[in-house]
Structure 1
């Protein structure tokens, strides 16, 4: 028997509304093009610099602002869908992504390219929150394991394909062909979405714009990403680095605290402030940051120390997809059981193994050891981030799934795209050679990841969390949350 969340009165009847496979295709086409691009730029950097007459800092800034746009777009959409139907938001965002792609394709200079990639990032964040919850909620819990596996592959399978694509562009040019393909995929996604995405009555048509959360989310997204990009041309002590990073992080803390204490807050900080969702969110943040950092460090090592071409570098990183697929298959089989938290923890442990292997990398073994380490990193990403996302989503009412995803993605993006560039800069500037800096940055990443494991285990222990099968039927019908998680430190409080 299928259980579905009660859906508000449908305003727009579309021919493929009940077609699960069309809905899956729509979501993958909405998210995958941009996710591939997030890991393309490093290996395609020289080609883009020459074509656009850009400096490395200008391109790093463009991609940093694009990632910030992704994080902010997710939060902004959590506000929009209260007043506007998800269908309208989806169609607008997909059209906006196409517009951004056209700007990139027609760019003759870095300014227009930057504007285009920021639009691509922002509208993809919107597409995530607009399209993913309906796919999860409207097709029955019997399909939820397959959906979860598809989401995992869609998230990190595409990310792991980026280095190979970037390597091809970096070795053979053709970057405009890449963005042309991205635009075509988005246009197909828009067409399928128009035939698949149902309209709905907005959740709160009379709701006002959130003048607290949205400006804070904007500052928390764009300020620190600018500061980190500055390291490409500056130093740790520069005001242009220190002020934006610390101001942005402070604004992020204010945002989370304010949402916790606000009644009817845009993002459900208070509902997920208990053992399982907090551990899931921390897992997603730790894995996202460690994965991104180690991937960038490995790319740089292969290019600088092994002197491999971009395309060979991309090929050596491609085994990540094997780990992602293994993790996705395991997630499919564990989603409806009590083992999802354990799978999420295994994702962090996968990163630990991959990082430990990278400590042994040298010029003589890089082409063997790095691909093996990539398998573990891919597993860590697939087993850590998506299960962590679902741990948070299952711990709130299904009606709050979109805002919950927005919150977790904001926090994960902050961790992933701040720590990575900082540690890569450390590797490039510390030590007598890049090999020394590489070892230092990998070691720091490994220590941070191990601390993440200990933190998650500590939260579980202090909360007295027990492994229990999620109540997906109650969650899908809106009667309850799937996980009935103990409060933070519940065992210590009761003792």
Structure 2
């Protein structure tokens, strides 16, 4: 007997709500701890190294679970996965809110990461492709908040939660969002069937993905209390990054891959995903460096720092408006590369001097750059693959983006907190150089690919008839 569809199923607003309620908690909590780490460490009887380990494991679980979801979604009804993941988010955030030790906090954050990462593959594709081509620009703009954009609010949220015990309410709020996601999922997630319910477990891709995420994230977490030459940092980080490379090569060469690496190995996806990786890493690094300078050098309170960096939210609002206007036109690659350049400019503003006004301007540029560079960059790759492969493609591009953004922060903080005057400025300068060089290299990739301005065919893409963009091979101009 066929069960009736849930009462809210099929609505555009429901699809967007399902995606945001599932993705937002983890994204918000990716930057909120920047400002309440000291209070959290005191209350849990740990130190910054212990909290950094928890952050690393949470980020690893998030990155790993996107690959797990790409495997599970082929064999299990996506509705069941969504409902299970929202409960996992609520449970993990609840455990973290009630944590009496760092071990309990770590366990809660790992559960939260596992649930959130899976929903990128489960909830995002139907929200984007299931409501016709006219809805795509606004959908992408809003879901951008769940992909990365919500992190701009996390910094300010963390500033107001830096009082004793207040950080627990942040996790309690995340738990409430998870429960809301479960309720909306019960009422609005379409019932369906798995693509291949008899398909077996991938015996090599999942273990490789585990090594590619947990090893390097744990490795860089060791930097807080160890020198860069420490085996505890070098060995797991090197082995993990080698596993990541092997995983990508394996997916590229496999006839029926878990994630379609071959489909994104051309000009536009490489440009978009590369920009998202560097922009996300630059945003995270510059935001944390701004917090470090404002608190530890200039002596401002967490509340003042959080209020100052609230300009990131204003930048994100402008980014959302730009995405809606630009995505249906010929200029998404310009928007994406412009976002990367804007983050680089934010670093330049920070480098020009200290003070609250300077940080506020940099915050606006960081919000604008992250909003136009990360989510749209990922979608520049997504629109270059067929819509039916959107979920697995997002698993790969988000894995790569997460590795870049979340691995960069501990390295940056190690450099910024090294001995000697001017360590923060030197680290900012390195960040400006990396983002600037990245912008130049990716612009060259776009130009050498010969991909002239083109309007995406969103109707063809949403109806599953082909890709929205025609993306030429890498360096196609040189091959002619």
Name the TM tier (shorter chain): over 0.9
In 2, Cα distance between the equivalents of 1:361 and 1:414?
30
Q: Deviations over 1:307-357 (max 9, x none)?
A: 111111111111011111111111111111111111001101101211111
| Structure-1 residue corresponding to 2:441 | 455
Query: How far did residue 20 of structure 1 move?
Result: 1.6
Match of 1:325 in 2: 317
Q: Is the 8 A contact 2:132 2:459 kept in 1?
A: no
Counterpart pick for 1:38 among 30, 43, 52: 30
2:96 touches 2:105 (CA, 8 Å); kept in 1?
Answer: yes
Task: Say which is worse superposed, 26-35 or 312-321, in terms of deviation.
Answer: 26-35
How many matched pairs? 480
Check the 8 A contact 1:349/1:453 in 2, yes or no: yes
- Give yes or no for contact 2:149–2:370 (8 Å, CA) kept in 1: no
Structure 1, 468-477 or 12-21: larger mean CA deviation: 12-21
Contact 1:146 1:332 in 2 (8 A): yes
In the TM superposition, what is the alpha-carbon distance from 1:152 to its structure 2 partner?
2.0
Task: Indicate yes or no: 2:277 matched with 1:285.
Answer: yes
Given that residues 294 and 442 in structure 1 are in contact (C-alpha distance below 8 angstroms), is that contact kept between their aligned partners in structure 2? yes
CA displacement 1:154-208 (0-9 Å, x = unmatched): 4444211111211122135322222222211211111011100012221222222
CA contact (8 A) 1:220 1:251 kept: yes
Q: Which stretch shifts more, 178-187 or 264-273?
A: 178-187
Q: Contact 1:272 / 1:395 at 8 angstroms: preserved in 2?
A: yes
Aligned mates of 1:157, 1:347 — CA distance in 2: 13
- Aligned match of 1:14: 6
Aligned partner of residue 161 in structure 2, secondary structure: helix
Distance across 1 between alignment mates of 2:258 and 2:118 = 15
Instruction: State the 1:11 CA deviation.
Output: 6.5
For 1:214-246, what per-residue CA distance to the aligned partner results, in whole angstroms no more than 9, with x for missing partners?
Answer: 111111111111111101111111000000111
Q: Is the 8 A contact 1:153 1:325 kept in 2?
A: no
Deviates more, 1:420-429 or 1:253-262: 420-429
Please give the per-residue CA displacement for 1:386-431, whole angstroms capped at 9, x wherever unaligned: 111111111111111011111111111111111221022111114x
C-alpha separation between the residues in 2 aligned to 1:483 and 1:402?
A: 17
Gaps of 5+ in 1: 1-9
- 1:171 match: secondary structure: coil
Q: Is this contact kept in 2: 1:77–1:126, CA < 8 A?
A: yes
- Cα deviation digits, residues 40-61 of structure 1 (max 9, x gap): 1121111111221112111110
Separation in 1 of the partners of 2:157 and 2:460? Answer: 43
Alignment match of 1:188 (pick from 174, 180, 203): 180
C-alpha contact 1:171 1:309 (8 A) present in aligned 2: no
SS at 1:67 equivalent: helix
Residue 462 of structure 1: how far off its partner (Å): 1.6
Q: Choose which of 339, 349, 361 in structure 2 pairs with 1:347.
A: 339
Please, what TM-score do these two structures have when normalized by structure 2? 0.97
In 2, Cα distance between equivalents of 1:158 and 1:384: 14
Written as runs of structure 1 = structure 2, the 5 A alignment for 1:254-293 is 254-293=246-285
Match of 2:45 among 50, 53, 56: 53
Deviations 1:254-278 (A, max 9, x none): 1111110011101110011110011
How do 1:13-412 and structure 2 match up within 5 A?
A: 13-171=5-163, 173-362=165-354, 366-412=355-401
Q: 1: distance between equivalents of 2:103 and 2:5?
A: 41
State the match for 1:441 in structure 2: 427
Alignment correspondent of 2:473: 487
Q: Check conservation: 2:20, 2:145, Cα contact below 8 A.
A: no
What 5-or-longer segments of structure 2 have no aligned partner? none
Establish whether residue 426 from structure 1 lines up as the match of residue 412 from structure 2: no
Q: Is the Cα contact below 8 Å between 1:12 and 1:198 reproduced in 2?
A: no
Runs of 4+ with deviation above 4 angstroms: none
TM-score (norm 1): 0.95
- Asked if residue 471 in structure 1 is aligned to residue 460 in structure 2, the reply is no
Q: Give 1:3's aligned residue.
A: none
Note the alpha carbon deviations across 1:437-464, whole angstroms, 9 max, x for none. Answer: 1111111111111111111111112211
Any conservation in 2 of the 1:61–1:230 contact (CA below 8 Å)? yes
- Alpha-carbon shift at residue 466 of structure 1 (Å): 0.9
SS of 2:262's equivalent in the other structure is coil
Shift of 1:467: 1.0
State the match for 1:7 in structure 2. none
Deviations 1:14-44 (A, max 9, x none): 1111222122222211111221111111211
User: Whole-Å Cα distance in 2 between the matches of residues 206 and 493 of structure 1?
Assistant: 43
- Give the CA RMSD over aligned residues: 1.4
